[in-house]
Structure 1
Amino acid sequence: MTETARPYIPAMGRHWMLFLYDPFARATRLSRVHGELLDRAGVRPGQTVLEIGCGPGDVLLQLGRRVPDAKLIGIDPDPAALRKARRKAARRGLEITFQLAYADRLPLPDDSVDRVLSSYMLHHLDTDQQVAALREVGRVLRPGGEVHVVDADGTPHQGSKRHRHPRLAGHTPDRIADLMREAGLTAVTENGHGERPVIGRYAFVRATA
């Protein structure tokens, strides 16, 4: 049964801006950040990987080329983004399952996933939704499975007390790590950071089920 639709923030922040996603990703070389995330995730052939908030599917498309024998699943609440992701996968001949779902209600059984990925999605959720989503991540991960997150780093710049985007206020790597611990995940670590034009600063945080 499909869950009743509820409000969400789409990949580009506005539904009508979805057509700008690919040009934006090319201009900012977002694929390099995705590549860094995948380097850290260390997916192996035969593993099952879930991306929460997959949007137009670019992370899983890159992973499908890297590890063609992995089972890849992407969920997102945006039907338009999922249609775009399916078209991209079909053009590349990649078998990826894209499903309409919310991060705090994952349509997967317990202990069924080896890796969970999240790219620039967590800050789209309110705090209670973030914890609920990370609890769901812990539920679907197999024992010893890992979640790898890359997200904007809302740490104020030196000399500034505010971030340019209100949703990033307080959204720091330490805060993400605290949310992971609150959700029951373990071995939580910040394992890298970077900065790119337009995108700004970003950080990687990982945890284990």
Structure 2
Amino acid sequence: MTFGEKLHRLRRERGLSQEALAAELGVSRQAVSRWELGEVVPDTANVLAVSRIFGVSTDYLLLDECDREGQTPAAKSAERSLRERQAAVGQGFCARVLWLALISLFHQYRLDAAGGGEPPVPMWWLLAAELATAVWLGRLNWRYGAKEGGRFRDLVVPDLLAFTCAFGLPYGLEWVPGRWGILLGQLAAILLLVQSIKTLRLHYGLPWGKS
């Protein structure tokens, strides 16, 4: 769409006549008519004024390939940036959830083996998966600190405390009936990891709660 076609559409959507728009811009009705017909292109000052009146960007007005505001280079860049930030938070969330799940499975299978049962998968598989997940999480935390400008310890401290709770508490609470020791360790770890996720979301400019 040309500038003139966009101006005509915006003016009609706003319910403005050419005379009314011309009055707001401080130009003649004939000037607005010539812009819409594509006979001339307004100067920079008038393009900026049209942009302000209709609340659209100058890129949208001047780039013929942009049929809507969301197609402008700035809008596309902002959309990519948002997706990248959401992906960074999502990866951090998934790594931590997988980390806790593998620790829980380890304790479940350990207790089954102690009771004479056979774990569904070899224990070394779980330990290898846990190590791989820890490496993945470590790389994400390193990227957050080294490349994204965050404070490394803001993630590492709650992550290590969470690991200590999830892995260590079930050993210290084996006297608790059933598998409550595992559950309590997981709950304590989740409370700590919520802080890590909050730190990530706020760092990447994503909302948290009502803020």
Normalised by the length of structure 1, the TM-score is 0.24
Judging by fraction of residues, say which structure has more strand.
Answer: 1
Larger Rg: 2
Normalised by the length of structure 2, the TM-score is 0.23
